[in-house]
Structure 1
Amino acid sequence: MKNYAILFLSLFLFSCSSDNDEPIKEVSVDLKFTHNWGGTDVTKSDFNKIEFENSKGVKQSIERLRYLISRITLTDGNKKEINFDGYKLVDLDDSDNLTHALSQKISEGTYNLSFTFGFNTEDNKDGVYKDLNTASWEVPAMLNGGYHFMQLDGKYSDKDGNPQPYNFHAIQAYDQTTKESKDTFFVVELGTVSIKNNATITINMDISQWFKVPNEWDLNILNVMLMGNFEAQKQISDNGRNVFSLGGVSQ
Protein backbone atom coordinates (compact mmCIF):
# COMPACT_ATOMS: atom_id res chain seq x y z
CA MET A 1 0.00 0.00 0.00
CA LYS A 2 2.86 2.32 0.90
CA ASN A 3 4.50 1.71 -2.49
CA TYR A 4 1.26 2.59 -4.31
CA ALA A 5 1.03 5.87 -2.37
CA ILE A 6 4.61 6.79 -3.28
CA LEU A 7 3.94 5.96 -6.96
CA PHE A 8 0.76 8.07 -6.98
CA LEU A 9 2.53 11.03 -5.35
CA SER A 10 5.39 10.79 -7.85
CA LEU A 11 3.00 10.78 -10.81
CA PHE A 12 1.09 13.75 -9.35
CA LEU A 13 4.24 15.82 -8.87
CA PHE A 14 5.51 14.93 -12.36
CA SER A 15 2.18 15.98 -13.83
CA CYS A 16 2.28 19.34 -12.02
CA SER A 17 5.88 19.90 -13.07
CA SER A 18 5.00 19.14 -16.69
CA ASP A 19 2.14 21.66 -16.59
CA ASN A 20 4.44 24.38 -15.34
CA ASP A 21 7.19 23.64 -17.83
CA GLU A 22 5.16 24.12 -20.99
CA PRO A 23 7.36 25.74 -23.64
CA ILE A 24 6.93 29.48 -24.11
CA LYS A 25 5.60 30.33 -27.55
CA GLU A 26 7.87 32.35 -29.82
CA VAL A 27 6.01 34.72 -32.12
CA SER A 28 6.85 37.19 -34.89
CA VAL A 29 5.76 40.84 -34.86
CA ASP A 30 5.16 43.28 -37.70
CA LEU A 31 4.64 47.03 -37.40
CA LYS A 32 2.07 48.67 -39.67
CA PHE A 33 2.20 52.43 -40.25
CA THR A 34 -1.00 54.36 -40.94
CA HIS A 35 -1.50 58.08 -41.47
CA ASN A 36 -4.33 60.51 -40.93
CA TRP A 37 -5.12 64.20 -40.78
CA GLY A 38 -7.09 64.91 -37.64
CA GLY A 39 -8.69 61.47 -37.83
CA THR A 40 -9.28 61.32 -41.60
CA ASP A 41 -7.20 58.62 -43.29
CA VAL A 42 -4.43 59.80 -45.62
CA THR A 43 -2.94 57.60 -48.36
CA LYS A 44 -0.91 58.35 -51.48
CA SER A 45 -4.21 58.75 -53.38
CA ASP A 46 -4.65 62.00 -51.42
CA PHE A 47 -1.38 63.49 -52.68
CA ASN A 48 -1.31 66.80 -54.57
CA LYS A 49 -4.70 67.98 -53.32
CA ILE A 50 -4.71 71.29 -51.42
CA GLU A 51 -7.48 70.14 -49.12
CA PHE A 52 -5.93 69.69 -45.67
CA GLU A 53 -6.58 72.60 -43.32
CA ASN A 54 -4.08 73.24 -40.54
CA SER A 55 -4.75 74.90 -37.18
CA LYS A 56 -3.97 78.33 -38.70
CA GLY A 57 -6.79 77.83 -41.19
CA VAL A 58 -4.33 77.49 -44.07
CA LYS A 59 -5.06 74.86 -46.73
CA GLN A 60 -2.17 72.65 -47.76
CA SER A 61 -1.38 69.54 -49.77
CA ILE A 62 0.94 66.59 -49.25
CA GLU A 63 3.22 65.62 -52.12
CA ARG A 64 5.74 63.54 -50.20
CA LEU A 65 6.00 62.07 -46.72
CA ARG A 66 9.00 60.01 -45.66
CA TYR A 67 10.35 59.55 -42.14
CA LEU A 68 12.86 57.43 -40.28
CA ILE A 69 12.43 55.43 -37.09
CA SER A 70 15.13 53.48 -35.26
CA ARG A 71 15.92 51.66 -32.02
CA ILE A 72 12.58 49.86 -31.82
CA THR A 73 12.25 48.40 -28.33
CA LEU A 74 9.85 46.09 -26.49
CA THR A 75 10.10 46.18 -22.69
CA ASP A 76 8.46 43.46 -20.58
CA GLY A 77 6.97 43.72 -17.10
CA ASN A 78 10.35 43.02 -15.51
CA LYS A 79 11.88 46.01 -17.32
CA LYS A 80 13.86 43.69 -19.59
CA GLU A 81 14.35 45.27 -22.99
CA ILE A 82 14.36 43.58 -26.39
CA ASN A 83 16.17 45.91 -28.77
CA PHE A 84 15.72 45.32 -32.49
CA ASP A 85 18.50 45.94 -34.96
CA GLY A 86 18.17 48.29 -37.88
CA TYR A 87 15.85 51.14 -38.74
CA LYS A 88 12.87 51.80 -41.00
CA LEU A 89 12.43 54.49 -43.63
CA VAL A 90 8.66 54.81 -44.02
CA ASP A 91 7.49 56.18 -47.36
CA LEU A 92 3.79 56.98 -47.72
CA ASP A 93 4.18 56.96 -51.52
CA ASP A 94 4.93 53.20 -51.45
CA SER A 95 2.09 51.08 -50.05
CA ASP A 96 4.39 48.04 -49.89
CA ASN A 97 6.70 50.02 -47.60
CA LEU A 98 4.21 50.63 -44.79
CA THR A 99 4.94 47.48 -42.78
CA HIS A 100 8.11 46.47 -40.99
CA ALA A 101 8.95 42.99 -39.71
CA LEU A 102 10.87 43.04 -36.44
CA SER A 103 14.25 41.38 -36.80
CA GLN A 104 13.72 38.58 -34.28
CA LYS A 105 10.91 36.56 -32.70
CA ILE A 106 9.81 37.27 -29.15
CA SER A 107 8.09 35.35 -26.37
CA GLU A 108 4.36 35.91 -26.05
CA GLY A 109 3.54 38.37 -23.30
CA THR A 110 2.82 42.01 -22.47
CA TYR A 111 5.28 44.69 -23.53
CA ASN A 112 5.72 48.44 -23.74
CA LEU A 113 6.55 49.52 -27.30
CA SER A 114 8.86 52.43 -28.05
CA PHE A 115 11.08 53.72 -30.84
CA THR A 116 13.29 56.67 -31.70
CA PHE A 117 12.12 59.19 -34.28
CA GLY A 118 15.11 59.73 -36.54
CA PHE A 119 18.59 58.73 -35.39
CA ASN A 120 20.07 59.51 -32.00
CA THR A 121 23.48 61.19 -31.93
CA GLU A 122 25.35 57.88 -31.78
CA ASP A 123 23.57 56.49 -34.85
CA ASN A 124 23.47 59.67 -36.92
CA LYS A 125 26.82 59.01 -38.57
CA ASP A 126 27.52 60.77 -41.82
CA GLY A 127 27.32 58.64 -44.97
CA VAL A 128 27.43 55.14 -43.43
CA TYR A 129 24.01 53.74 -44.42
CA LYS A 130 24.16 52.75 -48.07
CA ASP A 131 20.42 52.31 -48.57
CA LEU A 132 19.74 55.76 -47.08
CA ASN A 133 22.42 57.25 -49.28
CA THR A 134 20.70 55.73 -52.32
CA ALA A 135 17.38 57.18 -51.11
CA SER A 136 18.94 60.70 -51.04
CA TRP A 137 18.38 60.85 -47.31
CA GLU A 138 21.69 62.49 -46.38
CA VAL A 139 22.03 65.97 -44.88
CA PRO A 140 24.60 68.29 -46.52
CA ALA A 141 27.94 68.74 -44.74
CA MET A 142 27.27 72.50 -44.40
CA LEU A 143 24.38 71.52 -42.09
CA ASN A 144 26.58 69.14 -40.07
CA GLY A 145 25.87 66.01 -42.11
CA GLY A 146 24.08 62.95 -40.87
CA TYR A 147 20.63 62.05 -42.13
CA HIS A 148 17.13 63.42 -42.41
CA PHE A 149 14.55 62.39 -39.86
CA MET A 150 11.62 63.40 -42.08
CA GLN A 151 10.73 64.95 -45.42
CA LEU A 152 7.18 66.33 -45.63
CA ASP A 153 6.61 68.38 -48.77
CA GLY A 154 3.64 69.96 -50.50
CA LYS A 155 1.99 73.25 -51.31
CA TYR A 156 -0.12 75.69 -49.32
CA SER A 157 -2.51 78.49 -50.29
CA ASP A 158 -0.95 81.84 -49.43
CA LYS A 159 -2.88 84.90 -48.26
CA ASP A 160 -3.83 85.66 -51.87
CA GLY A 161 -4.98 82.10 -52.54
CA ASN A 162 -1.96 81.22 -54.65
CA PRO A 163 -0.21 77.84 -54.26
CA GLN A 164 3.26 78.07 -52.73
CA PRO A 165 5.73 75.29 -51.87
CA TYR A 166 6.68 74.13 -48.40
CA ASN A 167 9.45 71.73 -47.34
CA PHE A 168 8.86 70.61 -43.77
CA HIS A 169 12.11 68.69 -43.24
CA ALA A 170 13.38 67.45 -39.86
CA ILE A 171 17.10 67.03 -39.13
CA GLN A 172 19.41 67.53 -36.17
CA ALA A 173 19.29 71.27 -35.39
CA TYR A 174 22.46 73.07 -36.41
CA ASP A 175 23.35 76.75 -36.28
CA GLN A 176 25.73 77.52 -39.16
CA THR A 177 26.86 80.77 -37.52
CA THR A 178 27.68 79.56 -34.01
CA LYS A 179 28.34 75.91 -35.03
CA GLU A 180 26.00 74.85 -32.23
CA SER A 181 24.08 71.61 -32.69
CA LYS A 182 21.13 70.34 -30.69
CA ASP A 183 19.58 66.89 -30.59
CA THR A 184 16.11 66.90 -32.11
CA PHE A 185 15.45 63.15 -32.20
CA PHE A 186 12.98 61.93 -29.60
CA VAL A 187 11.79 58.65 -28.14
CA VAL A 188 8.15 57.74 -28.78
CA GLU A 189 6.54 55.76 -25.95
CA LEU A 190 3.48 54.14 -27.49
CA GLY A 191 2.17 52.16 -24.51
CA THR A 192 1.34 48.55 -23.72
CA VAL A 193 0.65 45.75 -26.18
CA SER A 194 -0.34 42.18 -25.37
CA ILE A 195 1.17 39.63 -27.76
CA LYS A 196 -0.27 36.09 -27.84
CA ASN A 197 0.32 34.99 -31.42
CA ASN A 198 2.06 36.29 -34.52
CA ALA A 199 0.94 39.90 -34.44
CA THR A 200 0.71 43.12 -36.42
CA ILE A 201 0.83 46.31 -34.36
CA THR A 202 -0.56 49.48 -35.93
CA ILE A 203 1.24 52.78 -35.37
CA ASN A 204 -0.70 55.92 -36.29
CA MET A 205 0.72 59.27 -37.40
CA ASP A 206 -1.60 62.29 -37.24
CA ILE A 207 0.09 64.52 -39.82
CA SER A 208 -1.89 67.58 -38.74
CA GLN A 209 -0.14 67.55 -35.36
CA TRP A 210 3.17 68.51 -36.98
CA PHE A 211 1.63 71.95 -37.53
CA LYS A 212 -0.31 72.25 -34.30
CA VAL A 213 1.00 71.63 -30.77
CA PRO A 214 2.83 73.20 -28.99
CA ASN A 215 3.91 75.41 -31.90
CA GLU A 216 1.05 76.51 -34.13
CA TRP A 217 2.75 76.62 -37.52
CA ASP A 218 2.32 79.53 -39.94
CA LEU A 219 3.28 78.32 -43.41
CA ASN A 220 3.13 81.91 -44.66
CA ILE A 221 6.23 82.55 -42.53
CA LEU A 222 7.95 79.16 -42.12
CA ASN A 223 7.69 77.23 -45.38
CA VAL A 224 11.02 76.49 -47.11
CA MET A 225 14.70 76.57 -46.05
CA LEU A 226 13.78 75.08 -42.66
CA MET A 227 16.74 72.70 -42.50
CA GLY A 228 19.13 75.57 -41.83
CA ASN A 229 16.76 77.24 -39.38
CA PHE A 230 18.00 76.30 -35.89
CA GLU A 231 14.88 77.46 -34.03
CA ALA A 232 12.50 75.91 -36.56
CA GLN A 233 14.16 72.52 -36.17
CA LYS A 234 13.66 72.65 -32.40
CA GLN A 235 10.00 73.56 -32.89
CA ILE A 236 9.48 70.72 -35.38
CA SER A 237 10.93 68.31 -32.82
CA ASP A 238 8.62 69.63 -30.10
CA ASN A 239 5.55 69.23 -32.31
CA GLY A 240 6.55 65.71 -33.31
CA ARG A 241 6.08 64.43 -29.77
CA ASN A 242 2.31 64.69 -30.26
CA VAL A 243 2.17 62.97 -33.64
CA PHE A 244 2.32 59.20 -33.02
CA SER A 245 -0.18 56.94 -31.27
CA LEU A 246 -0.76 53.22 -30.82
CA GLY A 247 -3.43 51.61 -32.97
CA GLY A 248 -4.86 48.12 -32.75
CA VAL A 249 -3.08 44.78 -32.56
CA SER A 250 -4.20 42.02 -34.92
CA GLN A 251 -3.12 38.47 -34.15
Structure 2
Amino acid sequence: MKKIVSLLTLALLIIACNEDIDDTTITIPEVTFNFTHHWDSTFINSTNLETETLTNANGEVITINRIRYLTSHFELTNLAGETYIFEGYKLTDLSDDATYNFTPVVNTIPSGTYNLKFVWGFNADDNTDGIYQDLNSESWNWPAMLGGGYHFLQFDGMYNVDTANPSPFNFHNGTARVSDGVFEDNFAVITFDAPITISNNTTIEIKMNIAELFKNPNTWDLNVLDTPLMPNYDAQKMMQQNILSVFSLGETTQ
Protein backbone atom coordinates (compact mmCIF):
# COMPACT_ATOMS: atom_id res chain seq x y z
CA MET A 1 0.00 0.00 0.00
CA LYS A 2 1.30 3.45 -0.88
CA LYS A 3 2.57 5.48 2.06
CA ILE A 4 2.16 9.26 1.86
CA VAL A 5 4.97 11.21 3.51
CA SER A 6 4.54 14.89 4.35
CA LEU A 7 7.51 16.93 3.17
CA LEU A 8 6.81 19.51 5.86
CA THR A 9 7.02 16.80 8.54
CA LEU A 10 10.23 15.51 6.96
CA ALA A 11 11.74 18.98 6.99
CA LEU A 12 10.90 19.43 10.68
CA LEU A 13 12.49 16.07 11.49
CA ILE A 14 15.65 17.07 9.64
CA ILE A 15 15.86 20.32 11.62
CA ALA A 16 15.40 18.41 14.88
CA CYS A 17 18.12 15.92 13.93
CA ASN A 18 20.54 18.72 13.06
CA GLU A 19 19.90 20.34 16.45
CA ASP A 20 20.56 17.06 18.30
CA ILE A 21 23.66 15.98 16.39
CA ASP A 22 26.16 18.83 16.30
CA ASP A 23 29.06 16.88 14.79
CA THR A 24 27.14 15.20 11.96
CA THR A 25 26.07 16.82 8.71
CA ILE A 26 22.83 15.37 7.36
CA THR A 27 22.41 16.01 3.65
CA ILE A 28 18.89 15.77 2.27
CA PRO A 29 18.61 16.72 -1.41
CA GLU A 30 16.39 19.48 -2.74
CA VAL A 31 14.48 19.11 -6.02
CA THR A 32 13.78 21.62 -8.79
CA PHE A 33 11.62 20.88 -11.83
CA ASN A 34 12.70 22.55 -15.08
CA PHE A 35 10.28 22.60 -18.03
CA THR A 36 11.64 22.88 -21.55
CA HIS A 37 9.52 23.26 -24.68
CA HIS A 38 9.72 22.22 -28.29
CA TRP A 39 7.63 21.55 -31.38
CA ASP A 40 8.98 18.17 -32.44
CA SER A 41 12.64 19.02 -33.21
CA THR A 42 12.24 22.83 -32.96
CA PHE A 43 13.20 24.31 -29.60
CA ILE A 44 10.69 26.91 -28.38
CA ASN A 45 11.25 29.65 -25.79
CA SER A 46 10.46 33.34 -25.35
CA THR A 47 12.80 34.42 -28.15
CA ASN A 48 11.06 32.52 -30.95
CA LEU A 49 7.60 31.79 -29.53
CA GLU A 50 5.82 34.26 -31.80
CA THR A 51 8.12 34.07 -34.81
CA GLU A 52 8.34 30.35 -35.63
CA THR A 53 6.15 29.03 -38.45
CA LEU A 54 5.11 25.46 -37.64
CA THR A 55 3.07 22.72 -39.29
CA ASN A 56 0.72 20.48 -37.31
CA ALA A 57 -0.07 16.81 -37.97
CA ASN A 58 -3.13 17.75 -40.06
CA GLY A 59 -1.03 19.97 -42.34
CA GLU A 60 -2.16 23.39 -41.11
CA VAL A 61 0.66 25.94 -40.97
CA ILE A 62 0.46 27.91 -37.73
CA THR A 63 2.06 30.65 -35.71
CA ILE A 64 1.79 31.00 -31.92
CA ASN A 65 0.69 34.09 -30.02
CA ARG A 66 0.54 32.67 -26.50
CA ILE A 67 0.96 29.47 -24.50
CA ARG A 68 0.30 29.32 -20.78
CA TYR A 69 -0.39 26.13 -18.80
CA LEU A 70 -0.88 24.95 -15.22
CA THR A 71 0.66 21.94 -13.47
CA SER A 72 0.26 20.86 -9.84
CA HIS A 73 0.48 18.05 -7.27
CA PHE A 74 4.01 16.87 -8.06
CA GLU A 75 4.77 13.50 -6.45
CA LEU A 76 7.87 11.31 -6.21
CA THR A 77 7.42 7.66 -5.15
CA ASN A 78 10.40 5.54 -4.11
CA LEU A 79 10.95 1.79 -4.45
CA ALA A 80 9.48 1.20 -0.98
CA GLY A 81 6.20 2.74 -2.11
CA GLU A 82 6.66 5.93 -0.06
CA THR A 83 5.22 8.96 -1.86
CA TYR A 84 6.49 12.50 -1.26
CA ILE A 85 4.02 15.19 -2.31
CA PHE A 86 5.28 18.67 -3.20
CA GLU A 87 2.83 21.41 -2.29
CA GLY A 88 1.96 24.19 -4.68
CA TYR A 89 1.28 24.63 -8.37
CA LYS A 90 3.06 26.12 -11.35
CA LEU A 91 1.74 28.50 -14.01
CA THR A 92 4.12 28.45 -16.96
CA ASP A 93 4.07 31.27 -19.51
CA LEU A 94 6.26 30.52 -22.51
CA SER A 95 6.79 34.26 -23.06
CA ASP A 96 8.58 34.42 -19.68
CA ASP A 97 11.58 32.11 -19.25
CA ALA A 98 11.58 32.80 -15.51
CA THR A 99 8.40 30.72 -15.16
CA TYR A 100 9.96 27.55 -16.60
CA ASN A 101 11.36 26.38 -13.24
CA PHE A 102 9.37 25.13 -10.26
CA THR A 103 11.12 24.87 -6.90
CA PRO A 104 8.63 23.97 -4.16
CA VAL A 105 8.98 25.88 -0.90
CA VAL A 106 9.36 22.62 1.07
CA ASN A 107 11.16 20.20 -1.19
CA THR A 108 13.79 18.22 0.70
CA ILE A 109 13.59 14.50 -0.01
CA PRO A 110 15.66 11.47 1.05
CA SER A 111 18.19 10.11 -1.41
CA GLY A 112 16.86 7.23 -3.46
CA THR A 113 15.29 6.11 -6.71
CA TYR A 114 11.90 7.55 -7.59
CA ASN A 115 9.13 7.70 -10.17
CA LEU A 116 7.54 11.07 -10.92
CA LYS A 117 3.97 12.06 -11.61
CA PHE A 118 2.08 15.34 -11.59
CA VAL A 119 -1.36 16.72 -12.43
CA TRP A 120 -2.14 18.62 -15.61
CA GLY A 121 -4.22 21.53 -14.32
CA PHE A 122 -5.88 21.04 -10.96
CA ASN A 123 -7.52 17.87 -9.65
CA ALA A 124 -11.12 17.99 -8.42
CA ASP A 125 -10.14 18.94 -4.85
CA ASP A 126 -7.83 21.78 -5.87
CA ASN A 127 -9.88 23.25 -8.73
CA THR A 128 -11.94 25.52 -6.49
CA ASP A 129 -13.36 28.64 -8.05
CA GLY A 130 -11.69 31.93 -7.17
CA ILE A 131 -9.46 30.89 -4.25
CA TYR A 132 -6.01 31.47 -5.78
CA GLN A 133 -5.41 35.21 -5.84
CA ASP A 134 -2.29 35.02 -8.00
CA LEU A 135 -4.18 33.06 -10.65
CA ASN A 136 -7.15 35.42 -10.41
CA SER A 137 -4.84 38.34 -11.18
CA GLU A 138 -3.60 36.47 -14.28
CA SER A 139 -7.17 36.16 -15.65
CA TRP A 140 -6.77 32.40 -15.33
CA ASN A 141 -10.34 31.70 -14.18
CA TRP A 142 -12.54 29.21 -16.05
CA PRO A 143 -16.10 30.60 -16.53
CA ALA A 144 -18.65 29.52 -13.90
CA MET A 145 -21.15 28.63 -16.63
CA LEU A 146 -18.59 26.08 -17.89
CA GLY A 147 -17.89 24.60 -14.46
CA GLY A 148 -15.73 27.24 -12.79
CA GLY A 149 -12.29 26.73 -11.32
CA TYR A 150 -9.32 27.56 -13.51
CA HIS A 151 -7.87 27.10 -16.96
CA PHE A 152 -5.39 24.30 -17.49
CA LEU A 153 -4.15 25.69 -20.81
CA GLN A 154 -4.37 28.82 -22.96
CA PHE A 155 -2.86 28.21 -26.40
CA ASP A 156 -3.63 30.90 -28.99
CA GLY A 157 -2.38 31.53 -32.50
CA MET A 158 -3.17 31.70 -36.19
CA TYR A 159 -3.52 28.84 -38.67
CA ASN A 160 -3.46 28.58 -42.45
CA VAL A 161 -0.90 31.37 -42.30
CA ASP A 162 0.50 30.14 -45.63
CA THR A 163 -2.75 31.15 -47.37
CA ALA A 164 -4.46 34.44 -48.19
CA ASN A 165 -7.02 33.80 -45.41
CA PRO A 166 -5.37 32.91 -42.09
CA SER A 167 -7.69 32.36 -39.10
CA PRO A 168 -7.30 32.49 -35.31
CA PHE A 169 -7.46 29.50 -33.00
CA ASN A 170 -8.01 29.42 -29.22
CA PHE A 171 -7.01 26.02 -27.85
CA HIS A 172 -8.14 26.44 -24.23
CA ASN A 173 -8.49 23.52 -21.82
CA GLY A 174 -10.30 23.18 -18.48
CA THR A 175 -13.40 21.60 -16.94
CA ALA A 176 -15.65 19.91 -19.51
CA ARG A 177 -19.27 21.08 -19.73
CA VAL A 178 -21.56 18.09 -20.33
CA SER A 179 -24.80 20.09 -20.45
CA ASP A 180 -26.41 23.03 -18.62
CA GLY A 181 -25.29 22.75 -14.99
CA VAL A 182 -23.54 19.40 -15.53
CA PHE A 183 -19.74 19.34 -15.62
CA GLU A 184 -16.96 16.75 -15.72
CA ASP A 185 -13.47 16.87 -14.27
CA ASN A 186 -10.99 17.13 -17.10
CA PHE A 187 -7.55 17.11 -15.48
CA ALA A 188 -4.95 14.51 -16.45
CA VAL A 189 -2.35 12.67 -14.38
CA ILE A 190 1.03 12.65 -16.09
CA THR A 191 3.15 9.64 -15.09
CA PHE A 192 6.70 8.65 -16.04
CA ASP A 193 7.96 5.07 -15.95
CA ALA A 194 11.66 5.95 -16.15
CA PRO A 195 13.28 5.92 -12.69
CA ILE A 196 14.98 9.03 -11.32
CA THR A 197 17.94 8.59 -8.96
CA ILE A 198 18.37 11.42 -6.45
CA SER A 199 21.48 11.64 -4.28
CA ASN A 200 22.23 15.40 -4.20
CA ASN A 201 20.38 18.61 -4.99
CA THR A 202 18.65 17.69 -8.25
CA THR A 203 17.10 19.43 -11.25
CA ILE A 204 14.64 17.25 -13.18
CA GLU A 205 13.99 18.35 -16.75
CA ILE A 206 10.45 17.81 -18.04
CA LYS A 207 10.16 18.20 -21.81
CA MET A 208 6.93 19.45 -23.39
CA ASN A 209 6.35 18.63 -27.06
CA ILE A 210 3.66 21.14 -28.00
CA ALA A 211 3.05 19.41 -31.35
CA GLU A 212 1.58 16.41 -29.52
CA LEU A 213 -1.43 18.51 -28.53
CA PHE A 214 -2.53 18.29 -32.16
CA LYS A 215 -1.74 14.69 -33.05
CA ASN A 216 -1.83 11.89 -30.49
CA PRO A 217 -4.21 10.09 -30.29
CA ASN A 218 -6.49 12.67 -31.95
CA THR A 219 -5.30 14.38 -35.12
CA TRP A 220 -6.59 17.92 -34.71
CA ASP A 221 -8.25 19.65 -37.65
CA LEU A 222 -8.13 23.37 -36.90
CA ASN A 223 -10.42 24.03 -39.86
CA VAL A 224 -13.14 22.28 -37.83
CA LEU A 225 -12.04 22.88 -34.22
CA ASP A 226 -10.56 26.37 -33.84
CA THR A 227 -12.95 28.58 -31.82
CA PRO A 228 -14.83 28.43 -29.50
CA LEU A 229 -13.60 25.23 -27.86
CA MET A 230 -14.17 25.96 -24.16
CA PRO A 231 -17.89 24.99 -24.18
CA ASN A 232 -17.31 22.07 -26.58
CA TYR A 233 -17.42 18.85 -24.52
CA ASP A 234 -15.97 16.61 -27.23
CA ALA A 235 -13.10 19.03 -27.87
CA GLN A 236 -12.29 19.23 -24.16
CA LYS A 237 -12.14 15.43 -23.83
CA MET A 238 -9.96 15.15 -26.95
CA MET A 239 -7.56 17.67 -25.40
CA GLN A 240 -7.45 15.61 -22.20
CA GLN A 241 -6.54 12.51 -24.23
CA ASN A 242 -3.85 14.30 -26.25
CA ILE A 243 -2.16 15.86 -23.23
CA LEU A 244 -1.07 12.41 -22.02
CA SER A 245 1.61 12.18 -24.74
CA VAL A 246 2.91 15.75 -24.46
CA PHE A 247 5.44 15.38 -21.63
CA SER A 248 8.60 13.29 -21.33
CA LEU A 249 11.55 13.20 -18.96
CA GLY A 250 14.71 14.97 -20.03
CA GLU A 251 18.05 15.27 -18.30
CA THR A 252 18.46 14.91 -14.55
CA THR A 253 21.35 16.98 -13.17
CA GLN A 254 22.84 16.87 -9.67
> TM-score, normalized by length of structure 1?
0.87
Give the distance between the partners of 2:239 and 2:138, measured in 1 at CA: 22
| Structure 1 position 48, deviation (Å) | 2.6
Instruction: Provide the residue aligned with 1:140 in structure 2.
Output: 143
Secondary structure of 1:237 counterpart: helix
Equivalent position amino acid for 2:36 in 1: T
Superposition pairs of residues 11-30 of structure 1, within 5 angstroms: 25-30=27-32
**1:76-127 C-alpha deviation (Å, 9 max, x unpaired):** 1111000111111111111111101133211111111110000111111000
Q: How does 1:83-94 map to 2 (within 5 A)?
A: 83-94=85-96
| Count of residues in Structure 1 that have an aligned counterpart in Structure 2 | 229
Which residue is 2:220 aligned to? 217
Partner of 2:239: 236
**Deviations 1:216-249 (CA, angstroms, capped at 9, x unpaired):** 0001110111001011000000000010000011
Percent identical residues: 43
Letter in 1 for 2:134: D
Report Cα offsets for 1:165-204 as digits up to 9, x if no partner.
Answer: 1110000101344x33222111111232111111111000
Match of 1:33 among 11, 32, 35: 35
Task: State the match for 2:78 in structure 1.
Answer: 76
CA deviation vs aligned residue, 1:48-92 (integer Å, no higher than 9, x gap): 336110011111111111111111001011110001111111111
AA aligned to 2:57 is: S
Runs of 5+ unmatched residues, structure 1: 1-21
Greater CA radius of gyration, 1 or 2? 1
Counterpart CA distance in 2 for 1:197 and 1:107 is: 9
Q: Which residue of 2 aligns with 1:173?
A: 176
Asked whether 1:226 is paired with 2:229, we answer yes
Determine the C-alpha separation between the residues in 2 that align with 1:84 and 1:71.
6
What one-letter code is carried by the residue in structure 1 that aligns with 2:225? L
Question: TM-score by structure 2 length?
Answer: 0.86
Gaps of 5+ in 2: 1-23
1:110 counterpart (110, 113, 127): 113
Cross-structure match for 1:198: 201
Distance 1:169 1:231 in 2: 13
Q: Give 1:142 shift.
A: 1.3
1:50/1:155 contact within 8 Å kept: no
Other structure's SS at 1:107 match? coil
Is 1:55 the counterpart of 2:83? The answer is no
- Residue pair 1:170, 1:233 contacting (<8 A) in 2 also: yes
Q: CA deviation at 1:24?
A: 5.8
Counterpart among 122, 128, 133 of residue 131 in structure 2 = 128
